[in-house]
């Protein structure tokens, strides 16, 4: 905007803000009476027109005011000006409402009287707008005729000189296939598996032949059952041999099944084997040290450890009783919560029935109100459609103006494009001539002959200077030395690997022996524990019994309440 237009816009904005209270009186009344179907988003438009008509009409003049009004929607301006410049409204309620904010004499002399003076001329403007609404015409847009244009075919380029044939590609030597041993497991793994199987069998036989296992209840039971079964089937001469073989067979099957269940095979790597061997070695050293201390007169802490174990067992039983009490208390609170939840459900059902009745009444009232609003909207749509018919004429004129501008721009762009194409063709032609000259120069053969003697030195005057033949001989010697070093290192690695494998096998044997001894000790300890615990009886806490009784009562009460629901 220029300076004058900017000053006019700022003054209008300041005036609308300053006299907002009295302008709202007119606009709100218009929306209540004549503008019920006008959108609320156009409220600021009516405020500006009301401000210009009240405070700026004498300053800007009727002609400028008419131009502003005619540039806007004709139907809306005609409706608002007819409402605002009504003699009855100006002299009655508009004057009284404005007098609430300003002095009544000031309102009449400065605002009402000027509006009444301009009322006849503004009435003529309103009549023109009414005639324009009644005599509007609809312009039909004519379709343009398609004009054919010539095809823009590409001009073929001149053929270039064919380049010389490329050199043949070198053929790579055929690779050796992968050896079949790559996909087969190594022999060492199979040997380790066989050694492991033999060690397991030896361990089972040693466990079976031990005196503690032979005196176990299971073995005695097998012997007695075999005696009863075979007494009537075989002779007395074969009695002992048959009983012994039968008991051994049954017990070995039982032990095998138990080993399959309890001792699941675990694949050990080198680190695990060495770690477990170090553990057993450390335990062995500790046991030897303890025996030496006992021989020197040190005390045996077994009695204290036994007392500590008993006290820990008592503490564990107390903790288990406390946990059981907490569990039963939680179950009791759950039963009480279920009863409370059922009571809440009954109350919510009563409230839901009341809410459904109220909702049905509100929906009935809403449906009636919705029907009335739909009728009002239909009337508003009809009025808006009448106002949109005058917009088509303005759009047609704007479309013609835009088409003229587009045509001018297209002509200018075609001219610029034609000049750019001519410049591009000149550059391409110069490049093509330059390429032809370069290819002609490259196609001329060049003869180069250079004879090389491999036994002569380069003659550069260096200390380590040598001929190609001497260099090849030295490289061959260096390769032989490197090969011998690699062979020596390979033999050293093999020896180290064999020593490491032997160490691992020794560790495995030691681990298997320790495991067998630990298994025997655990079996004896388990039998002693069973004997010691056979005469004990567990007693329940009185709190647990009381809580169980309460839970049974609450459960019965909840089931009765659920039956009533």
- pLDDT tens, position by position, 480-500: 999 999 999 999 999 999 999
Specify if 126 maps to a domain.
Answer: yes
Tell me the C-alpha distance between 537 and 546, whole Å. 21
Angle between helices 302-388 and 391-443 (to 10 degrees): 120
Q: Residue 366: in which H helix or E strand, if any?
A: helix 302-388
The pair of three-digit structure tokens given for residue 127, joined into one six-digit string: 């009549």
Specify if 154 maps to a domain.
Answer: no
Tell me the C-alpha distance between 298 and 461, whole Å. 87
Tell me the C-alpha distance between 152 and 157, whole Å. 15
Q: What is the sign, positive or negative, of the torsion defined by CA atoms of 13, 15, 21, 25?
A: negative
Domain count, the chain: 1
The answer to whether the beta carbons of residues 300 and 538 sit under 8 Å apart is: no
The CA–CA distances, whole Å, from 329 to 60, 96, 322, 324 equal 90, 79, 11, 9
In this prediction, residue 478 carries a pLDDT of 95
Specify if 181 maps to a domain.
Answer: no
Angle between helices 43-55 and 3-18 (to 10 degrees): 100
In this prediction, residue 484 carries a pLDDT of 94
Q: Alpha-carbon dihedral of residues 214, 263, 499, 281, nearest 10 degrees? A: -70
Residues of the chain where predicted confidence (pLDDT) is lower than 50: 137-141, 207-237, 239-240, 243, 247, 255, 259-263, 535-540
SS3 141: coil
Give 543-551's long-range contacts (Cβ < 8 A, gap of 24+): 543/321, 543/325, 544/321, 544/324, 544/325, 544/328, 547/325, 547/328, 547/329, 547/332, 548/328, 550/332, 551/328, 551/331, 551/332, 551/335
The pair of three-digit structure tokens given for residue 396, joined into one six-digit string: 């047609």
Angle between helices 43-55 and 20-32 (to 10 degrees): 120
Specify if 166 maps to a domain.
Answer: no
The answer to whether the beta carbons of residues 335 and 555 sit under 8 Å apart is: yes
SS3 85: coil
Give how far the C-alpha of residue 487 lies from the chain's centroid of Cα atoms, to the nearest Å: 56
Give how far the C-alpha of residue 123 lies from the chain's centroid of Cα atoms, to the nearest Å: 69
Domain hosting 61: range is: 3-136
The pair of three-digit structure tokens given for residue 185, joined into one six-digit string: 């497991």
The answer to whether the beta carbons of residues 280 and 510 sit under 8 Å apart is: yes
SS3 456: coil
Give the chain's length.
565
Tell me the C-alpha distance between 84 and 62, whole Å. 16
Total Cβ atoms within 10 A of residue 35: 20
Specify if 59 maps to a domain.
Answer: yes
Tell me the C-alpha distance between 554 and 545, whole Å. 15
In this prediction, residue 531 carries a pLDDT of 75
Q: Residue 525: in which H helix or E strand, if any?
A: helix 468-533
Of the CA atoms within 13 Å of residue 258, those in its CB half-sphere come to 10
The pair of three-digit structure tokens given for residue 218, joined into one six-digit string: 């299971």
The pair of three-digit structure tokens given for residue 470, joined into one six-digit string: 């001497």
The answer to whether the beta carbons of residues 81 and 54 sit under 8 Å apart is: no
Specify if 308 maps to a domain.
Answer: no
Specify if 119 maps to a domain.
Answer: yes
Tell me the C-alpha distance between 97 and 90, whole Å. 10
The answer to whether the beta carbons of residues 126 and 76 sit under 8 Å apart is: no
In this prediction, residue 446 carries a pLDDT of 59
- 164: exposed, middle or buried (Cβ count in 10 Å: 0-12, 13-18, 19+): exposed
Specify if 306 maps to a domain.
Answer: no
Q: Residue 425: in which H helix or E strand, if any?
A: helix 391-443
């Amino acid at each position: 905007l220029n300076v004058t237009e900017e000053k006019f816009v700022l003054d209008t904005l300041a005036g609308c803000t300053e006299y907002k209270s009295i302008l709202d009186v007119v606009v709100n009344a218009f929306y209540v009476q004549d503008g019920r179907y006008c959108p609320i988003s156009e409220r600021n438009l009516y405020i500006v027109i009301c401000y210009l008509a009240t405070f700026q009409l004498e300053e800007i003049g009727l002609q400028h005011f008419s131009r502003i009004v005619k540039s806007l929607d004709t139907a809306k301006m005609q409706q608002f000006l007819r409402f605002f410049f009504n003699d009855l409204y100006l002299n009655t309620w508009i004057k009284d409402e404005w007098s609430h904010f300003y002095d009544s004499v000031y309102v009449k002399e400065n605002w009402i009287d000027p509006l009444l003076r301009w009322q006849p001329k503004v009435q003529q403007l309103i009549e023109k707008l009414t005639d324009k609404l009644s005599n509007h015409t609809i312009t039909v847009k004519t379709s343009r005729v398609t004009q054919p244009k010539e095809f823009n075919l590409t001009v073929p380029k001149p053929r270039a000189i064919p380049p010389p044939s490329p050199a043949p590609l070198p053929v790579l030597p055929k690779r050796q296939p992968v050896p079949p041993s790559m996909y087969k497991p190594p022999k060492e793994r199979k040997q380790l598996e066989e050694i492991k199987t033999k060690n397991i069998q030896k361990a089972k036989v040693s466990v079976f032949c031990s005196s503690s296992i032979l005196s176990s209840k299971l073995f005695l039971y097998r012997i007695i059952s075999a005696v009863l079964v075979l007494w009537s089937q075989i002779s007395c001469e074969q009695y002992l041999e048959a009983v012994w073989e039968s008991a051994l067979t049954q017990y070995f099957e039982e032990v095998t099944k138990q080993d399959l269940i309890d001792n699941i095979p675990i694949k050990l790597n080198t680190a695990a084997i060495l770690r477990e061997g170090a553990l057993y070695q450390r335990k062995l050293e500790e046991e030897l040290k303890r025996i030496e201390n006992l021989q020197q007169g040190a005390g045996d802490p077994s009695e204290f450890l036994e007392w500590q174990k008993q006290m820990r067992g008592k503490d564990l039983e107390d903790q288990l009783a406390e946990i059981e009490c907490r569990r039963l208390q939680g179950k009791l609170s759950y039963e009480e919560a279920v009863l409370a939840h059922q009571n809440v459900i009954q109350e919510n059902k009563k409230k839901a029935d009341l809410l459904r009745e109220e909702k049905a009444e509100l929906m009935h009232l809403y449906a009636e109100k919705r029907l009335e609003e739909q009728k009002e909207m239909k009337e508003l749509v009809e009025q808006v459609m009448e106002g949109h018919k005058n917009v088509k004429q303005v759009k047609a004129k704007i479309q013609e103006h835009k088409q003229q501008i587009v045509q001018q721009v297209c002509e200018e762009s075609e001219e610029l494009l034609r000049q750019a194409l001519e410049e591009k063709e000149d550059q391409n032609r110069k490049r093509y001539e330059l390429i032809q000259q370069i290819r002609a120069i490259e196609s001329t053969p060049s003869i180069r002959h250079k004879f090389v003697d491999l036994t002569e030195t380069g003659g550069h005057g260096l200390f380590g200077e040598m001929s190609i033949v001497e260099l090849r001989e030295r490289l061959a010697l260096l390769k032989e030395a490197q090969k011998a070093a690699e062979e020596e290192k390979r033999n050293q690695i093999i020896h180290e690997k064999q020593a490491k494998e032997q160490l691992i096998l020794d560790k495995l044997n030691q681990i298997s022996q320790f495991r067998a001894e630990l298994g025997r000790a655990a079996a004896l300890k388990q039998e002693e524990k069973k004997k010691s615990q056979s005469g004990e009886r567990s007693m329940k806490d009185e709190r647990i019994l009381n809580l169980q009784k309460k839970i049974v009562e609450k459960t019965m009460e909840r089931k009765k309440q659920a039956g009533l629901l």
